[in-house]
Amino acid sequence: MDAETLQQLINGLVIGSVYALIALGYTMVYGILGLINFAHGDVLMVGAMTALQTMLFLMGVAPGMSPVAMLTLALLVAIPVSMLIGYTMERLAYRRLRNAPRLAPLITAIGMSFLLQTLAMIIWGRNYHTFPQLISTTPLQPVEGVFVTPVQIVIIVVSALLMIGLTLLVNRSRIGRAMRATAENHRTASLMGVDTNAVIAFTFIIGAGLAAVAGVMYASNYGIAHYGMGFMPGLKAFTAAVLGGIGNLGGAMLGGIVLGLVESFGAGYIERLTFGFLNSSYQDIFAFIILGLVLIFRPTGLLGERVSDRA
């Protein structure tokens, strides 16, 4: 494999693992409620902006603090804040609409997305902010001509750990069993003594926490943050969730990685593959063509949708 191909592979894996992490939030909520939470991308933004605010504060009061400690503290603030936002959305908006026609919560989710973005715009302004890159971005060169930065390695490792952790949580723990039961059948689960309201709230909280981590990693990688930063990764992660089979945890992870790789290789090779007919301005279209093809031949996504019969 030549250096360029290897580099595109790394590019794809980095962005793909961020997509995967966000996609998990979409897919968990969909699996349990059949709701596509369009505000999920903006929860990511709230996470990143809160972390930024915390870091700026810490730099002011304790300039000598070590970068790792600062990042950890920033995450310890950003994750609960995002979880609170996730919980509040569910409690105030979606819970009241649980028995409404499906369109109502969907539109509410879009409204929530606008609301979060506008609030963020009021609080942090329209400007782009520099996001402190506390993990080094000086590239290492493991193979001649292939560059990878420590922050990118951290992104891949942290995403992998979180995905493993979530899989264990859902498959092995008590609350995980409750989540699976609720996804299977809401009403039956509640008859069996599962507090479905609590389970659903918990799902939102976990998803929001993952989104906050994804947001901080995303902003650390690119070094910037602003109020609209959640929109594109949110949309891409939603695509990834559908690609892998929405409602399916493994599918979201696979879908995220596949989408990241398709985008990366698409932008890099589309011109050569189409003999100059298409160029990199079609890189997004390339990802959606793959999505279209997968959905034509496998309508439930790569790993199959987890269809709950209460929908």
Partner 1 sequence: MKKTLVAAAILGLGLSAAHAQEVVKIGGAAPLTGTIAHLGKDLENGARLALEEANARGVTIGGKPVKLEFMGEDDQADPRTGTTVAQRLVDAGVKAVVGHLNSGTSIPASRIYHQAGIAQITPASTNPKLTQQKYPGVFRTIANDVQQGSVLGKFAVESLGAKKIAIIDDRTAYGQGLADETEKAAKSAGAQIVAREFTTDKATDFNSILTKIRSANPDVIFFGGMDAQAGPMLRQFKQLGITAKFLSGDGSCSPEMIKLAGDAIGANAYCSMAGLPIEKMPGGADFRARYKKRFNADVQIYSPYAYDAATAIITAMEKAGSAEPSKYLPELKKVNFDGVIGNISFDDKGDLKQGSITVYQFKDGAWVPL
Residue closer to partner 1 (CB basis): 40 or 226: 226
Residue closer to partner 1 (CB basis): 79 or 229: 229
Rounded least distance, CB 71 to partner 1, Å: 16
Asked whether 303 and 242 are in contact (CB, 8 A), the reply is no
Rounded least distance, CB 196 to partner 1, Å: 38
Q: Answer left, alpha or beta for residue 228, where phi above 0 means left and psi between -120 and 50 means alpha.
A: alpha
Rounded least distance, CB 263 to partner 1, Å: 7
Rounded least distance, CB 75 to partner 1, Å: 21
Rounded least distance, CB 50 to partner 1, Å: 19
Residue closer to partner 1 (CB basis): 136 or 173: 136
Rounded least distance, CB 65 to partner 1, Å: 19
Residue closer to partner 1 (CB basis): 84 or 232: 232
Residue closer to partner 1 (CB basis): 72 or 130: 130
Residue closer to partner 1 (CB basis): 30 or 131: 131
Q: Binding residues for partner 1, per CB under 8 A?
A: 3-4, 7-8, 11-12, 14-15, 126-128, 130, 133, 137-139, 141, 147, 149, 152, 222-224, 226, 228-229, 232, 263-269, 279-281, 283
Residue closer to partner 1 (CB basis): 16 or 255: 16
d(CA 133, CA 136): 7
d(CA 244, CA 258): 9
Angle subtended by helix axes 174-184 and 3-33, to nearest 10: 70
Q: Which two tokens stand for residue 33?
A: 């409620």
Rounded least distance, CB 228 to partner 1, Å: 8
